[in-house]
């Protein structure tokens, strides 16, 4: 039960730590008021409780496809909100109020999405005194690993930021976001909304999905040892969108900086 | 002037009924979860065909059906029947487990060309 709690904690909650870490690196100068943080936490708690309570009901909706459809909508929302808020931030180093609203909304949805499934597990065993010690120990270990990992990642990204390796940081971001988005293919395939095709390749001899590295790579980049062609199409499509957006922004910024200062075309 | 109802034209009816026709052809297989154990522990399904797997969780607590081999992951709520689709798959053994009780809730889906149960 102890190991199981740690594994589930890492699987469900490590992505939240990584997302917050990635956002923090490129929003280091952004000042988020305590009021906004309080609202994000409050809405996240409300979202998690509401989703957890409604999950069995949602699961029965639309011929048993309710949870997959809900999770797909949530993942798509997070993706769209973050693509159009973060890609600007990655280059301009500041966040407008609108961008901060987008990012805050994405955080609330992402926390709700990931935590509500973990709460289902906790709810199953927290009432049993037999397992309570193992679960508390598992939560403490899981939390420790998540904090340690995200701090290490944060310092690595800060170091890259100081070296002005923006493309490397953006690659971390693009792969993380793409990994999250591509999970919708598996969700929709298991309820037959999207047709399943055979795996394009099998890299399980290199890294097994079930191994520690497999779990970590899945969280960071959406790694699949046996991906379907639909999965790869969405993965590559998302990377194309993210890099196109980045380079369009970069080009715009370069052309803006080339304009002579103090020149006023209105005169 | 009489307005023609295009919704009930043969083309649209065929298009609307096509998915139901496809669903009707999908074979169904059942797994039961009781006392954190899946039965049957070995389920045979036909190769190269999409099948519907109905999992009945008879326990009083939730479980999560998980399979790295099948790329499937679904919460099984207590007392509920859950449906997932798997395949088309090539011949082979595909392991699955209950993520909350991986030591007891385990099984394998055997994909065979013939003799599917």
pLDDT in tens, A223-267: 999 999 999 999 999 999 999 888 887 787 777 777 665 444 343
Domain B28-112: which CATH number of 2.40.37.10, 2.60.40.420, 3.40.50.720, 3.40.50.150: 2.60.40.420
Best mutation target, B22, B25, B71, to test chain A (most A CBs within 10 A)? B71
Which segments within chain A are labelled E, that is strand?
A: none
Q: What is the ipTM of this complex?
A: 0.79
Best mutation target, B68, B93, B97, B109, to test chain A (most A CBs within 10 A)? B68
DSSP codes, A33-97: -HHHHHHHHHHHHHHHHHHHHHHHHHHHHHHHTHHHHHHHHHHHHHHHHHHHHHHHHHHH----H
Neighbours of B10 (CB within 10 A): 7
**Closest by CA position to A221, among listed A207, A109, A230, A229:** A207
The list of chain B residues with pLDDT below 50 reads: 1-2, 17, 20-21, 116-117
The closest CB to that of A196, out of B50, B69, B100, belongs to: B50
Residues of chain B contacting residue A60, judged by C-beta atoms under 8 Å apart:
80
Contact status, residue A218 vs residue A179, Cβ threshold 8 Å:
yes
- State how far the alpha carbon of B21 is from the alpha carbons of A12, A205, B16, B26, in Å: 38, 40, 10, 9
The pLDDT confidence band at residue A145, using thresholds 50, 70 and 90, is very high
Q: Could you tell me the two tokens for B48? A: 């190269």
Q: Could you tell me the two tokens for B116? A: 């599917």
- In A1-20, the residues whose Cβ lies within 8 Å of chain B are 4, 8
């Amino acid at each position: 039960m102890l190991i199981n709690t740690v594994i589930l904690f890492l699987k469900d909650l490590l992505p939240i730590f990584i997302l917050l870490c990635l956002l923090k690196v490129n929003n280091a100068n952004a000042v988020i008021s305590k009021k906004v943080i309080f609202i994000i936490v409050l809405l996240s708690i409300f979202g998690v409780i509401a989703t957890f309570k409604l999950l069995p009901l949602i699961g029965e909706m639309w011929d048993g496809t309710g949870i997959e459809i809900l999770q797909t909508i949530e993942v798509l929302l997070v993706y769209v909100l973050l693509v159009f808020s973060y890609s600007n931030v990655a280059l301009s180093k500041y966040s407008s109020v609108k961008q901060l609203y987008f990012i805050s909304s994405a955080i609330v949805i992402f926390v709700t999405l990931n935590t509500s499934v973990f709460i289902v597990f906790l709810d199953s065993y927290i009432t049993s005194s037999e397992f309570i010690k193992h679960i508390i120990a598992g939560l403490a270990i899981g939390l420790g690993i998540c904090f340690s990992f995200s701090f290490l990642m944060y310092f690595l990204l800060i170091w890259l930021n100081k070296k002005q390796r923006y493309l490397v940081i953006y690659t971390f971001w693009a792969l993380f976001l793409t990994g999250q988005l591509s999970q919708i293919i598996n969700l929709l395939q298991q309820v037959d909304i999207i047709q399943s095709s055979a795996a394009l390749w099998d890299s399980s001899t290199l890294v097994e999905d079930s191994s520690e590295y497999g779990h970590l790579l899945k969280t960071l980049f959406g790694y699949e040892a046996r991906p379907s062609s639909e999965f790869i199409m969405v993965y590559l499509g998302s990377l194309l969108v993210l890099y196109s957006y980045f380079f369009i922004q970069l080009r715009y910024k370069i052309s803006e900086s080339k304009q002579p200062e103090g020149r006023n075309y209105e005169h | 002037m009489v307005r023609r109802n295009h919704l009930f034209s043969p083309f649209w009816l065929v298009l609307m009924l096509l998915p139901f026709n496809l669903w009707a052809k999908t074979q169904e297989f059942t797994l039961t979860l009781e006392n954190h154990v899946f039965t049957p522990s070995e389920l045979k399904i036909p190769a190269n065909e999409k099948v519907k797997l109905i999992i009945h969780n008879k326990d009083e607590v939730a479980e999560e059906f998980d399979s790295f081999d099948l790329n499937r992951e679904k919460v099984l709520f207590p007392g509920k029947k859950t449906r997932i689709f798997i395949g088309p798959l090539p011949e082979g053994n595909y392991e699955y487990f209950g993520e909350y009780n991986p030591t007891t809730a385990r099984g394998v889906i055997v994909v065979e060309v013939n003799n599917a149960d």
